Chains A and B, each alone.
Chain A
Amino acid sequence: EAAVTQSPRNKVTVTGGNVTLSCRQTNSHNYMYWYRQDTGHGLRLIHYSYGAGNLQIGDVPDGYKATRTTQEDFFLLLELASPSQTSLYFCASSDEAGGARDTQYFGPGTRLLVL
Protein backbone atom coordinates (compact mmCIF):
# COMPACT_ATOMS: atom_id res chain seq x y z
CA GLU A 1 0.00 0.00 0.00
CA ALA A 2 1.12 3.54 -0.74
CA ALA A 3 3.13 5.24 2.00
CA VAL A 4 2.33 8.84 2.92
CA THR A 5 3.94 10.47 5.95
CA GLN A 6 3.14 13.78 7.60
CA SER A 7 4.93 15.99 10.09
CA PRO A 8 4.43 17.23 12.67
CA ARG A 9 1.64 15.02 14.01
CA ASN A 10 0.52 17.73 16.42
CA LYS A 11 1.06 21.48 16.35
CA VAL A 12 -0.03 24.33 18.59
CA THR A 13 0.38 27.93 17.48
CA VAL A 14 -1.05 31.34 18.31
CA THR A 15 -3.29 33.56 16.22
CA GLY A 16 -1.16 35.30 13.58
CA GLY A 17 1.57 32.70 13.73
CA ASN A 18 3.24 30.93 10.80
CA VAL A 19 2.79 27.20 10.36
CA THR A 20 4.18 24.78 7.81
CA LEU A 21 2.79 21.27 7.50
CA SER A 22 4.88 18.73 5.60
CA CYS A 23 3.93 15.71 3.58
CA ARG A 24 6.06 13.13 1.81
CA GLN A 25 5.04 10.20 -0.36
CA THR A 26 7.50 7.57 -1.52
CA ASN A 27 5.44 5.86 -4.21
CA SER A 28 6.23 8.09 -7.16
CA HIS A 29 2.64 9.29 -7.33
CA ASN A 30 1.92 12.22 -9.56
CA TYR A 31 -0.91 13.79 -7.58
CA MET A 32 -0.79 15.07 -4.01
CA TYR A 33 -3.59 16.69 -2.01
CA TRP A 34 -4.18 18.63 1.20
CA TYR A 35 -7.49 18.24 3.04
CA ARG A 36 -8.90 19.47 6.29
CA GLN A 37 -11.31 17.38 8.35
CA ASP A 38 -13.93 18.97 10.55
CA THR A 39 -16.88 17.37 12.29
CA GLY A 40 -20.01 17.71 10.18
CA HIS A 41 -18.07 18.55 7.03
CA GLY A 42 -16.11 15.43 6.26
CA LEU A 43 -12.90 16.10 4.35
CA ARG A 44 -12.60 19.24 2.28
CA LEU A 45 -9.94 19.83 -0.36
CA ILE A 46 -7.65 22.80 0.22
CA HIS A 47 -5.03 22.51 -2.56
CA TYR A 48 -3.64 19.83 -4.82
CA SER A 49 -0.81 19.34 -7.27
CA TYR A 50 -0.07 17.08 -10.20
CA GLY A 51 3.69 17.52 -10.14
CA ALA A 52 6.64 19.49 -8.86
CA GLY A 53 6.02 23.21 -9.23
CA ASN A 54 2.32 22.76 -9.99
CA LEU A 55 -0.49 23.97 -7.72
CA GLN A 56 -4.26 23.73 -8.12
CA ILE A 57 -6.87 25.39 -5.92
CA GLY A 58 -9.37 23.23 -4.08
CA ASP A 59 -12.69 24.02 -2.45
CA VAL A 60 -11.48 25.81 0.71
CA PRO A 61 -8.20 27.57 -0.21
CA ASP A 62 -8.65 30.87 1.67
CA GLY A 63 -5.86 31.45 4.19
CA TYR A 64 -3.70 28.63 2.85
CA LYS A 65 -0.74 28.45 0.52
CA ALA A 66 0.90 25.29 -0.74
CA THR A 67 4.06 24.37 -2.53
CA ARG A 68 5.16 21.17 -4.26
CA THR A 69 8.94 21.18 -4.26
CA THR A 70 9.58 17.67 -5.61
CA GLN A 71 7.47 14.74 -6.71
CA GLU A 72 7.71 13.43 -3.14
CA ASP A 73 7.17 16.59 -1.06
CA PHE A 74 4.12 18.81 -0.65
CA PHE A 75 3.86 21.57 1.95
CA LEU A 76 0.89 23.47 3.35
CA LEU A 77 1.58 26.99 4.65
CA LEU A 78 -0.53 29.05 7.03
CA GLU A 79 1.11 32.47 7.12
CA LEU A 80 -1.30 34.21 9.49
CA ALA A 81 -2.99 31.42 11.37
CA SER A 82 -6.50 32.00 12.71
CA PRO A 83 -8.57 29.98 15.21
CA SER A 84 -10.89 28.96 12.33
CA GLN A 85 -7.95 26.96 10.95
CA THR A 86 -7.91 24.69 13.98
CA SER A 87 -8.52 21.33 12.37
CA LEU A 88 -7.18 17.92 11.45
CA TYR A 89 -5.15 18.08 8.25
CA PHE A 90 -4.55 15.18 5.90
CA CYS A 91 -2.25 14.77 2.96
CA ALA A 92 -3.02 12.23 0.26
CA SER A 93 -1.47 11.00 -2.95
CA SER A 94 -2.60 9.12 -6.03
CA ASP A 95 -1.04 7.92 -9.22
CA GLU A 96 -3.81 8.96 -11.61
CA ALA A 97 -2.10 7.05 -14.40
CA GLY A 98 -5.44 5.33 -14.71
CA GLY A 99 -7.28 8.60 -14.75
CA ALA A 100 -10.02 9.45 -12.29
CA ARG A 101 -10.42 5.77 -11.28
CA ASP A 102 -7.26 5.78 -9.16
CA THR A 103 -7.56 5.60 -5.38
CA GLN A 104 -6.20 8.26 -3.07
CA TYR A 105 -3.95 7.15 -0.19
CA PHE A 106 -3.91 9.20 2.99
CA GLY A 107 -1.28 10.02 5.57
CA PRO A 108 -1.84 9.80 9.35
CA GLY A 109 -2.83 13.44 9.74
CA THR A 110 -1.63 16.55 11.60
CA ARG A 111 -3.75 17.99 14.37
CA LEU A 112 -3.41 21.79 14.45
CA LEU A 113 -4.63 24.00 17.28
CA VAL A 114 -4.60 27.79 16.81
CA LEU A 115 -5.00 29.63 20.11
Chain B
Amino acid sequence: QQKVQQSPESLSVPEGGMASLNCTSSDRNFQYFWWYRQHSGEGPKALMSIFSDGDKKEGRFTAHLNKASLHVSLHIRDSQPSDSALYFCAAKPNYNVLYFGSGTKLTVEP
Protein backbone atom coordinates (compact mmCIF):
# COMPACT_ATOMS: atom_id res chain seq x y z
CA GLN B 1 0.00 0.00 0.00
CA GLN B 2 1.28 3.43 -0.89
CA LYS B 3 2.29 5.49 2.11
CA VAL B 4 0.80 8.66 0.60
CA GLN B 5 -2.71 8.67 -0.86
CA GLN B 6 -4.11 11.50 -2.95
CA SER B 7 -7.63 12.41 -3.98
CA PRO B 8 -9.25 13.02 -6.31
CA GLU B 9 -7.43 11.32 -9.19
CA SER B 10 -8.59 14.06 -11.51
CA LEU B 11 -10.29 17.39 -11.06
CA SER B 12 -11.76 19.90 -13.47
CA VAL B 13 -12.50 23.50 -12.45
CA PRO B 14 -13.50 26.59 -14.43
CA GLU B 15 -11.05 29.43 -14.92
CA GLY B 16 -11.22 31.68 -11.87
CA GLY B 17 -12.54 28.87 -9.68
CA MET B 18 -11.14 27.18 -6.59
CA ALA B 19 -9.33 23.85 -6.84
CA SER B 20 -8.92 21.69 -3.72
CA LEU B 21 -6.54 18.73 -3.63
CA ASN B 22 -6.21 16.28 -0.75
CA CYS B 23 -3.49 14.03 0.59
CA THR B 24 -3.37 11.58 3.49
CA SER B 25 -0.36 9.66 4.74
CA SER B 26 -0.36 6.34 6.57
CA ASP B 27 2.95 6.78 8.37
CA ARG B 28 3.08 8.82 11.57
CA ASN B 29 6.83 9.21 11.09
CA PHE B 30 6.23 11.67 8.27
CA GLN B 31 7.30 15.12 9.42
CA TYR B 32 7.69 17.18 6.25
CA PHE B 33 5.33 17.64 3.34
CA TRP B 34 5.59 19.12 -0.16
CA TRP B 35 3.33 19.78 -3.07
CA TYR B 36 4.98 19.29 -6.45
CA ARG B 37 3.55 20.33 -9.82
CA GLN B 38 4.39 18.66 -13.12
CA HIS B 39 3.44 20.13 -16.46
CA SER B 40 3.28 17.81 -19.44
CA GLY B 41 6.74 16.93 -20.76
CA GLU B 42 8.57 18.37 -17.77
CA GLY B 43 9.97 17.18 -14.48
CA PRO B 44 8.15 17.83 -11.18
CA LYS B 45 8.83 21.19 -9.55
CA ALA B 46 8.32 21.96 -5.89
CA LEU B 47 5.36 24.26 -5.43
CA MET B 48 5.32 24.61 -1.67
CA SER B 49 6.49 22.93 1.48
CA ILE B 50 4.71 22.78 4.82
CA PHE B 51 6.18 21.49 8.05
CA SER B 52 3.92 22.89 10.80
CA ASP B 53 0.24 22.45 11.57
CA GLY B 54 -2.01 25.10 10.07
CA ASP B 55 -2.08 27.09 6.87
CA LYS B 56 0.70 28.34 4.64
CA LYS B 57 -0.15 30.80 1.90
CA GLU B 58 1.94 31.67 -1.14
CA GLY B 59 0.09 33.87 -3.61
CA ARG B 60 -2.93 31.99 -4.96
CA PHE B 61 -1.83 28.75 -3.29
CA THR B 62 -2.66 27.73 0.28
CA ALA B 63 -1.50 24.52 1.90
CA HIS B 64 -3.01 23.15 5.09
CA LEU B 65 -1.44 20.54 7.36
CA ASN B 66 -3.00 18.58 10.18
CA LYS B 67 -0.38 16.24 11.61
CA ALA B 68 -2.80 14.58 14.04
CA SER B 69 -4.91 13.30 11.13
CA LEU B 70 -1.92 13.06 8.75
CA HIS B 71 -3.85 15.18 6.25
CA VAL B 72 -2.47 17.78 3.87
CA SER B 73 -4.47 19.82 1.41
CA LEU B 74 -3.71 22.32 -1.35
CA HIS B 75 -6.14 25.02 -2.39
CA ILE B 76 -5.69 27.06 -5.55
CA ARG B 77 -7.86 30.14 -5.79
CA ASP B 78 -8.52 32.03 -9.01
CA SER B 79 -7.36 29.01 -11.01
CA GLN B 80 -5.71 29.73 -14.36
CA PRO B 81 -5.35 27.51 -17.45
CA SER B 82 -1.60 27.50 -16.75
CA ASP B 83 -2.37 25.70 -13.47
CA SER B 84 -3.46 22.66 -15.49
CA ALA B 85 -0.92 20.01 -14.51
CA LEU B 86 -0.31 16.88 -12.46
CA TYR B 87 0.02 17.66 -8.75
CA PHE B 88 1.88 15.39 -6.38
CA CYS B 89 1.84 15.31 -2.63
CA ALA B 90 5.12 14.12 -1.11
CA ALA B 91 6.18 13.39 2.45
CA LYS B 92 9.39 12.68 4.33
CA PRO B 93 10.20 11.16 7.68
CA ASN B 94 13.14 12.64 9.52
CA TYR B 95 15.61 11.30 6.95
CA ASN B 96 16.23 11.89 3.30
CA VAL B 97 13.73 9.70 1.46
CA LEU B 98 10.70 11.31 -0.16
CA TYR B 99 7.47 9.36 -0.68
CA PHE B 100 5.09 10.48 -3.41
CA GLY B 101 1.38 10.03 -3.88
CA SER B 102 -0.02 8.89 -7.22
CA GLY B 103 -1.01 12.42 -8.24
CA THR B 104 -4.08 14.52 -9.04
CA LYS B 105 -4.58 15.69 -12.61
CA LEU B 106 -5.97 19.21 -12.57
CA THR B 107 -7.64 20.71 -15.62
CA VAL B 108 -8.63 24.37 -15.60
CA GLU B 109 -11.15 25.06 -18.33
CA PRO B 110 -11.14 28.52 -19.97
Contact = CB atoms under 8 A, between A and B. Distances in A.
Interface of A: 4, 31, 33, 35, 40-45, 48, 50, 58, 90, 92, 94, 96, 99-109
Nearest to B49: A103
Contact of B43 (A58, A96, A103, A107): A107
B102 A101 contact: no
B51 to A, nearest CB: 7
B68 interface: no
A106 to B, nearest CB: 4
Given A100-B31, A100-B94, A104-B98, A42 B43 contact: no
26 contacts: A4-B43, A31-B96, A35-B100, A40-B102, A42-B2, A42-B4, A42-B100, A42-B101, A42-B103, A45-B97, A48-B97, A50-B96, A90-B44, A92-B43, A99-B94, A100-B31, A100-B93, A100-B94, A100-B96, A102-B96, A106-B45, A107-B43, A108-B41, A108-B43, A109-B42, A109-B43
Contact of A43 (B42, B44, B46, B93): B44
Nearest to B94: A100
B46 A104 contact: yes
B71 interface: no
Contacts, number: 58
Contacts of B75: none
Nearest to B42: A108
Given A106-B43, A108-B43, A101 B97 contact: no
Nearest to A35: B100
Given A100-B31, A100-B32, A101-B32, A106 B100 contact: no
